[in-house]
Chains A and B, each alone.
Chain A
Amino acid sequence: MEIKSLKKISDYIWEIPAEDEMRVPGRIFASEGLVEELDDNVVNQIKNVACLPGIQQASIAMPDAHWGYGFPIGGVAAFDPDEGGVISMGGIGFDISCGVRTMRTGMSREEIQPDIDKLVNRLFAIVPAGVGSEGKIRLNPQQIDEVLISGAQWAISKGYGYKEDLRFIEEGGIMDGADPSKVSDMAKKRQFREVGTLGSGNHYLEIQYVAEVYDEEVSQVFGLYRDDVVVSVHCGSRALGHQIGTDYLKTLAEASRKYNIPIRERELVCAPINSPEGRKYFSAVCAGINCALANRQVISHLVREAFSDVVPKARISILYDVSHNTCKIEEHPVEGKLKKLYIHRKGSTRAFGPGRREIPEEYSSAGQPVLIGGTMGTCSYILVGTDTGMKHAFGSACHGAGRALSRTQAKKKWRGDVLLRELASKGIIIRAHSFSGAAEEAPGAYKDVTEVVDATHKAGLAKKVVMLKPMACIKG
Chain B
Amino acid sequence: MKRYETFDHRADIGIRGYGKSVEEAFENGAKAMFSVMVDINDVKPVDKEDIDCEAPDLETLFVEWLNNLLSNAHLNGMLFCSFKVEINANKLRGSAWGERLEKHTNHLMTEVKAATYSMLKVVKEDDGYIAQCIVDV
Contacts and interface: CB of A to CB of B under 8 A. Distances in A.
Do these two chains interact? yes
Interface of A: 39, 66-69, 73, 93-95, 130-132, 186, 189-190, 199-201, 239, 242-243, 245-246, 249-250, 253-254, 266-267, 269, 403, 405-409, 433-434, 436-437, 440, 476
A132 B74 CA distance: 7
A189 B71 CA distance: 10
B99 interface: no
B6 interface: yes
25 contacts: A67-B10, A69-B116, A131-B105, A131-B110, A132-B102, A186-B75, A190-B71, A190-B74, A190-B75, A200-B110, A200-B111, A242-B114, A249-B67, A249-B117, A250-B55, A250-B60, A403-B10, A406-B8, A406-B13, A407-B12, A407-B137, A408-B13, A409-B8, A436-B110, A437-B109
B21 interface: no
A201 B137 contact: yes
Interface in B81-126: 101-102, 105, 108-111, 113-114, 116-118, 120
B136 interface: yes
Contact of B64 (A73, A201, A250, A405): A250
Given A131-B111, A403-B10, 7 more contacts: A131-B101, A190-B75, A201-B137, A249-B114, A250-B55, A406-B13, A440-B110
B77 interface: yes
A39 B56 CA distance: 32
Given A186-B75, A242-B114, A406 B9 contact: yes
A73 B11 contact: yes
B71 A201 contact: no
Contacts of A130: 105, 108
B109 A434 contact: yes
A434 B110 contact: yes
A243 B105 CA distance: 22
Interface string B1-35: 00000111111110000000000000000000000
Given A66-B10, A249-B63, A189 B108 contact: no
Contacts, number: 104
Given A132-B101, A190-B75, A407-B137, A266 B117 contact: yes
B37 interface: yes
State the 9 A-B residue pairs at the shortest beta-carbon distance, nearest first.
A131-B108, A266-B117, A131-B111, A200-B111, A242-B113, A246-B67, A406-B8, A132-B101, A267-B117
Contacts of B10: 39, 66-67, 403, 405-406
A226 B70 CA distance: 45
Given A94-B114, A190-B71, A190-B75, A266 B120 contact: yes
Residue of A94, A130, A246, A269 contacting most chain B CB atoms (<10 Å) = A246
A131 B63 contact: no
A246 B117 contact: no
A403 B11 contact: yes
A67 B134 CA distance: 12
A437 B64 CA distance: 26
Contact of B110 (A73, A405, A437): A437
Residue of B7, B55, B110, B111 contacting most chain A CB atoms (<10 Å) = B111
Contacts of B120: 266
B9 to A, nearest CB: 6
